[in-house]
Chain A
Amino acid sequence: MSSLDVTTDAARRPFPGRRARLGDLVLQGSAGIAALGALVLVGLIAWKVVQGARLSISTFGLGFVTHVGWDPVHLKFGAGSFLFGTAVTSIAALILATPIALGIALFLSELAPRGLRGPITALVETLAAIPSVVIGLWGLIVLAPILRDHVDPALHSALGFIPLFGPPGSYGSNVFTAIVVLTIMILPIIASISRELFLSVPSELKEGALGLGTTRWEMVRGVAFPYARGGVAAAMILGFGRAIGEAIAVGLTIGSATAINANLFKPGSTLAAMIANNYQGASSGLELSSLIYLALILLVFSILVNLLAQWIVRRAARRQGLMAR
């Protein structure tokens, strides 16, 4: 059979008709609906949260955001102390976690012997996989007593002149414990992203620096880290976003207070922890609605942080693209 015959055979077969086009339509349609559904979902989440908070919003307005105090008896609620708590715990955790995470990233990308790199990377990722409730459990039962009995008093005696390190309470559950727990939780996030960033620094850039007779650390400080700077900033912000949204681990270890306190060794609260701890005991519709108002503030905060991370990544990529021709 010559090839000509085969071609004419195929030509004689009718073109796939309406059935195939219908299949295309169905697939594209359902996939499109799914994609649309994701957009609708985000909108729905925002709407539902606003709707739940409406009672509280109409009662307190924007003053809720700054009002300090949570009084179920007199029905006066405010987010002030929780915003403060969220800010303090998340920023402190970020400050503690970042240098350690960068150290880990440097270790895994530059310094570790070949055999150690794989296992330790896996260990860091395992730390990330531990659920918040387990870390919260550990923080409450194992960490808190140790901090209460040994670390808090030691820090107070050494640094007591700073109001942050005031006299420790009798509880292990306090802001400091929550900060330690949060640090452990966001550490692996920042570390793994930074590690990938350092690995992506082109070796010719590193060789160019080392060829001048600089030490490894000088090369990292002068060339590798500036190259990765944008991504590291984004990683930090991602870690920050994780920290502000963490309800369970913080809820188990921060105690519960509704006043603003400079002393780290006293109990405190954050937006997320407050919601988690008090939702079941909400005594009035207004209190429940106020808790949802807290959730709304948290949602807005998270989305802003997320978008900020995106923007930084995009800006760094653009600069990189301009740079690496």
Chain B
Amino acid sequence: MNYRAIRSLKGKKVRKGIFYGHAIPYLEDIEIKGRFIVIEGPDASGRSTQIELLSSKLEADGHAVLNAGLRRSELIGQGILEAKRNFVLGRRTISLFYAADFADQLENKIIPGLRSGYIVLSDRYIYTLMAREAVRGISSSWSRNLYGFALKPDLVFYLDVDPNGLVHRVFKKNSYLDYYESGTDLRLSDNMLESFVMYQKLLRKEFKLMQKRYNIISIDGNRSITEINQDLQKRIDDYLQNLQNDK
């Protein structure tokens, strides 16, 4: 379990949130009732489809579900999009912009949701941000410190898709390759397709490096939607079942 389980005076179990590093001082001792599940994976790996399926199933089972994700804060999300469109931001600036957006989501959505007992399903989390930073030459110790205020999830899944196969999925989704998802700013290759594959390989490598430290469960994402869903659903159900048995 990722949470400190503390017995309160009345003998009821109280779970406190655990943070990766320096917690936000006023959130240090918050009580968490819900569960926090993260789905990571590259663009077009099927994350949002899986989250939809998982949400419906969990809701059918009687859980309250809340979806979260990157670049979704009302305050900052739009600003990042606009700035990226103009290609004006440096790598350090982009990192901090994303971190601000993430903090806003964490404090205003994820944590309140968990406190009131929701299962929070997050479409990507700090790991994607840290991987992107690492391939851009930003030191991992800097990134780890930056995201030290992040709450530790209960489960983290990584949809692992072969970068060569990923291209076809992207083309199925859109008819073009996204500038940033292709790592074009890294000038890996003049050929956009090649650049995309190279960039996705670099990110995948970073995920492999992070796997152990962050307990990331790798899920074979080269299978069909249904197969992946059954795999994820079973793991989540088992996890929730074990919690029931613990009580």
Q: A and B from one assembly?
A: no
Q: Which residues of A pack against B, CB within 8 Å? A: none
